[in-house]
Structure 1
């Protein structure tokens, strides 16, 4: 069930009778009750894609995560302010979680700590995507610290981010042990040059939503 319109969510969920395994919710949920309904009626979810949430839904998301104990793949269109608590809930209640995608927002020190190699959440992840985020170099290095060795992470992408340079040697060195490591298009400052806006799609792809 991909990108359902709000008015269809309740009907589709009801018809599925608790068997929905893949769900992408649309932007601008009409009411907080829609997210509550999904949490209550979709215990079999394996993949969930959430839009940018209202402040109320953002604050309540950590309390809803325990409903999705089979979750293996989570996509967040915007990093929630409650991310550290969300990460803790995912680590505790979602043992199959392998993929986390966060595709806009500002990664703060507490968020980086929740994604660091020593965190309970990272002990489960195989793939971590932070494309188009505002990701300061210090936070990126904290996330990458400890990669290699016994870490299970096989894929890490932070493409088209703002906050670090994609040619930074220390960053590249930290990510060298990851099977797929891609930070292409990232830059320290959001100042596109002439080549980047010359008729290709780089400008669209490099948009960063900083919250």
Structure 2
């Protein structure tokens, strides 16, 4: 009987393909300590193409989020590498993770509390990004910085924002620098006349637009429907400002292969915000590769 092949003897390319999917904590604190070949594989930038940072603060690890996940990760990292807790910097840690990708990261989801320094570092160190996800707190607190750096991601195809704050200015930079953008998702947005016109005028070739749980008046939705002629997906479900059974809206949207307005209503009510989802609701399942 032939000897069974051992995990540590797998080809490096195969290992890297697997390790790129295991998640940040395992990639940092589990996989490298199995054997030398696994450790070597984790150093390859292809293992760090998908960078997802959960909620954290920018000061000390003892101040981290309530659910304990990130605190546990940081505590494990500090303990494993015997670092001085009093001198540990979350900003430096995040920059260290980003540096592992060596410019090959294609997916980046930053923490709501990421510092200005982290944002600028990500813009410089992740030029190949195709999907960028920014939570609401980060957008609201660093709008001017994001506007300044977003044009550096010239390969961007998917943009997920947790807030519509400063949306017009963001889209202005995107229209100039990010010619491949095909999906825009904005959570809990306030879409008025100016925002609707910005989407129409600045992103005329947009393919997918996700505005779940937005505040958007009927006239502004009509503007989007009449102006975004290349949409294949428009999700305006559970919005406030128009009725989901509006026949004219349905007619204007008839050319869009995937259109959803389910749950949308003209007015808010006491039950609307019960079970309101967080900014980073899964955007998968909309025909993208993500």
Same fold per superposition (TM over 0.5)? yes
Q: Secondary structure at the match of 2:97?
A: helix
Alignment match, 1:35: 119
Looking at structure 2, the residues matched to 70 and 146 of structure 1 have their Cα atoms a distance apart, in angstroms, of 24
Alignment match, 2:217: 136
Looking at structure 2, the residues matched to 25 and 87 of structure 1 have their Cα atoms a distance apart, in angstroms, of 19
The alpha-carbon deviation at position 3 of structure 1 amounts to 3.1
Alignment match, 1:155: 233
Alignment match, 1:104: 188
Which residues in structure 2 correspond to 1:13-24 (within 5 Å)? Answer: 13-24=98-109
Q: How many residue pairs align between the two structures?
A: 193
Alignment match, 2:245: 167
The structure that is helix-richer by fraction is 2
Please tell me whether residue 95 in structure 1 is matched to residue 173 in structure 2: no
The alpha-carbon deviation at position 55 of structure 1 amounts to 4.3
Please tell me whether residue 122 in structure 1 is matched to residue 193 in structure 2: no
Looking at structure 1, the residues matched to 141 and 231 of structure 2 have their Cα atoms a distance apart, in angstroms, of 32
Alignment match, 1:3: 53
Report the TM-score, using the length of structure 2 for normalisation: 0.62
Which segments of 5 or more consecutive residues in structure 2 lack a partner in the other structure? 1-50, 57-89, 280-290
Looking at structure 1, the residues matched to 259 and 120 of structure 2 have their Cα atoms a distance apart, in angstroms, of 36
Looking at structure 2, the residues matched to 72 and 186 of structure 1 have their Cα atoms a distance apart, in angstroms, of 28
RMSD: 2.2
Distance 1:4 1:44, change over 3 A: farther
Q: Deviations over 1:98-128 (max 9, x none)?
A: 1110011211211000112xx23122x1101
Distance 1:21 1:134, change over 3 A: same
Looking at structure 2, the residues matched to 12 and 183 of structure 1 have their Cα atoms a distance apart, in angstroms, of 40
Say which one has the larger Rg: 2
Q: Is the 8 A contact 1:132 1:207 kept in 2?
A: no
Please tell me whether residue 177 in structure 1 is matched to residue 248 in structure 2: no
Q: Secondary structure at the match of 2:132?
A: strand
Looking at structure 2, the residues matched to 21 and 32 of structure 1 have their Cα atoms a distance apart, in angstroms, of 20
Q: Deviations over 1:142-186 (max 9, x none)?
A: 111145xxx321100011111111111111111111011001111
Q: Secondary structure at the match of 2:251?
A: helix
Q: Is the 8 A contact 2:238 2:261 kept in 1?
A: yes
The alpha-carbon deviation at position 54 of structure 1 amounts to 5.3
